[in-house]
Amino acid sequence: EAQVTQNPRYLITVTGKKLTVTCSQNMNHEYMSWYRQDPGLGLRQIYYSMNVEVTDKGDVPEGYKVSRKEKRNFPLILESPSPNQTSLYFCASSLSQGAGYEQYFGPGTRLTVT
Amino acid sequence: QKEVEQDPGPLSVPEGAIVSLNCTYSNSAFQYFMWYRQYSRKGPELLMYTYSSGNKEDGRFTAQVDKSSKYISLFIRDSQPSDSATYLCAMSRNFNKFYFGSGTKLNVKP
């Protein structure tokens, strides 16, 4: 089944404890992206990747890191999480930049930072 | 000023009604416009895509883009209870960065 998977689905952590949220797609997609969703603010793009080893900042990159060493994986790293990073996070992928109108989203990761 | 503005609703309509959802935007460089549907506790999924100005129809759904007014709309005809979801508009200049509205929650009552 074609899908985008995220792990973990739920995470409660404390301020300053480094964490990684994994994202994997099995569709051989070139483009991948991370979003956070907050009430009243909608989806905001954190980082995106056009292909392996090619990443760039979205609208709200502060406090996050990403890497794209393999085509299928695009982990999101929070090196020192803070309470304002409490949010619902979505990973998404599309076939290529040219087909970017259709992004396939993962099921989401709900992160709480205390 | 936010790049994309969308009325959060909620919008409650009876089954069979015509629904109109709208977004406004500020960046005239946007040329790709999308509508995503998000069910509760799920990720968004693409509903409609439009390039530049004009209309596009797909079954009960019609997307309209008016670039001169920086205004996009999604119309749902003969709305069904299964259409109850949050609808997100999204737009992009070149499919690298995407800007989403905050979403409008729609409830279609049987």
Q: Tell me what pLDDT residue B29 has.
A: 94
At B82, phi and psi to the nearest 5? -70, -10
Q: Tell me what pLDDT residue B2 has.
A: 82
Q: What percent of chain B has pLDDT over 70?
A: 100
Mean pLDDT of all residues in B64-73: 95
A53: left (phi over 0), alpha (psi -120 to 50) or beta: left
Q: Tell me what pLDDT residue A100 has.
A: 80
Measured CA to CA, the distance from residue B65 to residue A58 in angstroms comes to: 24
Confidence grade of residue B59 (pLDDT, cut at 50, 70, 90): very high
Asked if B87 and B9 count as a contact pair (C-beta separation under 8 A), the reply is no
Asked if A13 and A66 count as a contact pair (C-beta separation under 8 A), the reply is no
Distance from CA of A12 to the nearest CA of B (A): 18
B9-26 confidence digits (pLDDT tens): 899 999 999 999 999 999
What number of helices (H) and strands (E) belong to chain B?
A: 0, 11
Residue B1 clears pLDDT 80, i.e. is over it: no
Q: Tell me what pLDDT residue B90 has.
A: 97
Exposed, middle or buried: residue B11 (CB in 10 Å: 0-12, 13-18, 19+)? middle
Distances (CA, A) of A69 to A24, A57, A75, A110: 12, 17, 10, 25
Residue B77 clears pLDDT 90, i.e. is over it: yes
At B83, phi and psi to the nearest 5? -80, -5
Does A74 or B8 have the greater pLDDT score? A74
Measured CA to CA, the distance from residue A84 to residue A87 in angstroms comes to: 8
Measured CA to CA, the distance from residue B71 to residue B54 in angstroms comes to: 11
Nearest to B102 among A40, A45, A59 (CB): A40
Confidence grade of residue B93 (pLDDT, cut at 50, 70, 90): very high
Please list the rounded mean pLDDT of every run of 10 residues in chain A (114 residues): 95 97 97 96 96 96 97 98 98 88 95 98
Residues in chain A whose Cβ is within 8 Å of chain B: 4, 31, 33, 35, 40-45, 48, 50, 56, 58-59, 90, 92, 94, 97-108
Q: Tell me what pLDDT residue B65 has.
A: 96
State the Cα angle at A100 between A97 and A103, rounded to 5°.
130
Task: Determine the longest span between alpha carbons in chain B, in angstroms.
Answer: 41
Q: Tell me what pLDDT residue A103 has.
A: 95
